[in-house]
Amino acid sequence: MAVCHARFYFSDRQSRSLFDTRELQVSAPSPSASLPAGAGPQPRPLPLNWLGVLPFFLFALLFMLLPTAYLMVGAFQDAEGHFTLANLAGLLEPNVLNAYWISFRISVASALTGGLLGFLLAWAAVLGKLPAWIRPTLMTFSGVASNFAGVPLAFAFLATLGRMGLVTVLLRTYLDINIYSTGFSILSFTGLTLTYLYFQIPLMVLIVTPALEGLKKEWREACDCLGGSTLQYWRYIAMPVLWPSILGAMLLLFANAFGAVATAYALTGSSLNIVPILLYAQIRGDVLHNPNLGYAMALGMIVITGLANAGYMVLRSKTDRRGA
């Protein structure tokens, strides 16, 4: 899940090649140039047009929509297939509710921290007047790091902050600080949040950099000319432009953390009671003793990640309109 947002980076790269490619095409003879534009679709009967996109919709239906719908319907059924709300009520069981609560807190913590730190990094790269090579390097690295999730990431953090990890050992040997005696554990809430940051921060960098690049130099100059301070510039000019992007990006980070399974599972096994892990255990061995409660948990996950994504889309349409 962490990967997707790298598109912001790629699309930028590809759009730059727009002119080169188009020039190539133009040189090809285009006998149809005299045809009125839009005359293409008319002669063919409509049903044939649909055939072209049929495989795609069939695929989406079979391997995404129907399986999901199956679970959503199942969430409202009992074992015999009768309508019931008992499964949804089951979500309020302390065990399940607790899992949602921990998941929610980890996702919020990693989205807020990742969002803030990612923003700071992007700011430093775009507006910090650093050497020119830093920005592309940061972007490339962010593309890699946002994809470096799952099981290997858990290994990396165990080797860093685990009991025998490099940082743990160095701190103990040279600074006489035993982080594990302070109650820290890589298998805990803090540990997992810290690990998630490794793909959350780069993701934030990838999403928010284009927004920061959209800030016009003239705005800052205009502000300076009018005697505005740095604080006033950010308070009255930059932030009002940026906040939908920042908030939207954080919502994406939230959804991203909420659905992640592999990192948490490899890191903590099943010792940390978060929703994806509980659902994983439920699928493997019916730990909730009610398969339909599993459906309700899946429904709950979709609702939460769905809301976060919907929020992101609303906020993005806001920035798009302003950009236009």
Partner 1 sequence: MNNAPRESRLGAWIAMGLGTLYFLLPLIATFEFSLRMKRGEYSFEAYKVVFGDPLFQATFGYSIVMALATIAVGVLLVVPTAYWVHLRMPKLRPLVEFITLLPLVIPAIVIVFGYLRMYNSSSILPLTGSEHATDFLLVCSYVTLSLPYMYRSVDTGLRTIDVRTLTEAAEVLGARRATILLRVIFPNITSAILSGAFLTFAVVIGEFTMASLLDRPAFGPYLQLIGANRAYEPSALAVIAFLVTWASMGLINVFGRNSRRQPNR
- The residue count for binding partner 1 (CB under 8 A) is 107
Retrieve residue 229's tokens: 């301070």
Binding mask 12-41 for partner 1 (x = CB under 8 A): -xxxxxx-xxxxxxx-xxxxxx-x----xx
Select from 90-98, 181-189, 234-242, 299-307 the region that touches partner 1 (CB under 8 A).
Answer: 299-307
214-243 residues in contact with partner 1 (CB under 8 A) are 224, 230
Closest CA to 263 of 94, 107, 91: 107
The single residue among 86, 97, 151, 177 that binds partner 1, judged by CB under 8 A, is 151
Is 128 a binding residue for partner 1 by CB under 8 A? The answer is yes
The reply on whether position 261 binds partner 1 by CB under 8 A is yes
Binding to partner 1 by residue 155, rule CB under 8 A? yes
CA distance 263 to 298: 19
Determine which residue in the list 89, 97, 134, 222 makes contact with partner 1, applying CB under 8 A. Answer: 134
**By the rule CB under 8 A, 11 interacts with partner 1:** yes
Residue by residue, DSSP assigns 218-272 as HHHHHHHHTT--HHHHIIIIIHHHHHHHHHHHHHHHHHHHHH--HHHHHHHTTSS
- How far is 291 from 279, CA to CA, in rounded Å? 10
Question: What is the largest distance, in Å, between two alpha-carbon atoms of the chain?
Answer: 81
Q: For residue 301, state whether it binds partner 1 (rule: CB under 8 A).
A: yes
Residue 42 within binding range of partner 1, rule CB under 8 A: no
Minimum CB distance to partner 1 smaller for 65 or for 89: 65
Q: Using CB under 8 A, which of 76, 101, 104, 123 touches partner 1?
A: 123
Q: Residues of 200-228 as b/e, b for ≥16 C-beta within 10 angstroms?
A: bbbbbbbbbbbbbeebeeeebeebeeeeb
Stretch that binds partner 1, among 81-89, 94-102, 117-125, 176-184 (CB under 8 A): 117-125
Among 82, 217, 284, 289, binds partner 1 (CB under 8 A): 284
64 binds partner 1 (CB under 8 A): yes
Contact 2, 146 (CB under 8 A): yes
Rounded CA separation 248/317 (Å): 10
Residue 258 interacting with partner 1 (CB under 8 A): yes
Binding mask 86-115 for partner 1 (x = CB under 8 A): ------------------------------
| Segment interacting with partner 1, rule: CB under 8 A, options 79-87, 156-164, 184-192, 241-249 | 156-164
What does the alpha-carbon distance between residue 78 and residue 292 come to, in Å, rounded to a whole number? 7
DSSP string for 209-229: HHHHHTS-HHHHHHHHHTT--
**Residue 7, interface with partner 1 (CB under 8 A)?**
yes
* Stretch of residues binding partner 1 (CB under 8 A), selected from 67-75, 85-93, 94-102, 314-322: 67-75
The DSSP element (H or E) to which 308 belongs, if any, is: helix 291-323
The yes or no reply on residue 306 touching partner 1 (CB under 8 A) is yes
User: Any idea what the Cα angle at residue 115 is, between residues 109 and 117, rounded to 5°?
Assistant: 100
